[in-house]
Chains A and B, each alone.
Chain A
Amino acid sequence: DVKVTQSSRYLVKRTGEKVFLECVQDMDHENMFWYRQDPGLGLRLIYFSYDVKMKEKGDIPEGYSVSREKKERFSLILESASTNQTSMYLCASRRGRDYGYTFGSGTRLTVV
């Protein structure tokens, strides 16, 4: 089975800190995605990447950036964390555009 691993289950950071959320997949998938999930707002796409070194903005990219230097790893960066970025962050990958998504177990980030 494809495994998508998010490095932290829970994270607490201070306002203004630079935060790195890491995601690794082990099945050579081309596409990778970062979502955030909030009560009442559902899942919203932050950034995605079709291949190494490629990135595209999703619906809510403000305050975030991403890095994909290797195919298996997709990092989400909060340049200067703010309290409104407190959320559940979910990483996903897929083999290609006609395939299903596989999600990681999520990172619950709290910014204080």
Chain B
Amino acid sequence: KQEVTQIPAALSVPEGENLVLNCSFTDSAIYNLQWFRQDPGKGLTSLLLIQSSQREQTSGRLNASLDKSSGRSTLYIAASQPGDSATYLCAVGAGSARQLTFGSGTQLTVLP
């Protein structure tokens, strides 16, 4: 059964820092990987989707990479801002239906 792990569970950084969030998965037979952001009490907002044939995707200050063979993905956030404070979730799509298995998230706090 696929397991997705996100380390650290919580991270606090000063504004302006570049940071990396990590995601690892146990079964490398995935079709895609998606990063989400969740604000307290709200739904999930999609940030980036990486297909298994891709190595990385970029959107603004965000860059996500995927190393399928080693079962790892990273989300790089450049020049962090207090508005980036949220929980970041990684999810892998596998199986014939490409259903998502979620990690437990990294709670990020960016201090002004």
Residue ID in chain B nearest A58 by CB atoms: B99
Which secondary structure dominates where chain B touches chain A?
strand
A97 at the interface (CB under 8 A from B): yes
Q: A90-B43, A98-B31, A106-B42 are in contact. Are A42 and B49 (CB under 8 A)?
A: no
CB of B49 within 8 A of CB of A104, answer: no
Nearest-neighbour CB distance to chain A for B95, whole angstroms, equals 9
A45 at the interface (CB under 8 A from B): yes
CB of A45 within 8 A of CB of B43, answer: no
Report the bound CA distance from A106 to B36 in whole Å. Answer: 14
Q: A97-B97, A101-B34, A101-B100 are in contact. Are A106 and B46 (CB under 8 A)?
A: no
Nearest-neighbour CB distance to chain B for A103, whole angstroms, equals 4
Nearest-neighbour CB distance to chain B for A8, whole angstroms, equals 13
Q: Please count the residue pairs between chain A and chain B whose beta carbons lie under 8 angstroms apart in the complex.
A: 49
Chain A residue numbers with a CB within 8 Å of B45 are: 103
Chain A residue numbers with a CB within 8 Å of B81 are: none
CB of B42 within 8 A of CB of A42, answer: no
Report the bound CA distance from A90 to B41 in whole Å. Answer: 11
Chain B residue numbers with a CB within 8 Å of A104 are: 43
Contact surface of B with A, Cβ cutoff 8 Å: 31-32, 34, 36, 41-46, 49, 51, 89, 91, 93, 96-100, 102-105
14 A-B residue pairs with Cβ-Cβ distance under 8 Å, sorted by A, are: A6-B43, A42-B102, A42-B104, A43-B91, A98-B31, A98-B98, A100-B32, A101-B44, A101-B100, A103-B45, A103-B46, A105-B43, A106-B42, A108-B41
A48 at the interface (CB under 8 A from B): yes
CB of A45 within 8 A of CB of B46, answer: no
Chain B residue numbers with a CB within 8 Å of A43 are: 89, 91, 102
CB of A45 within 8 A of CB of B99, answer: yes
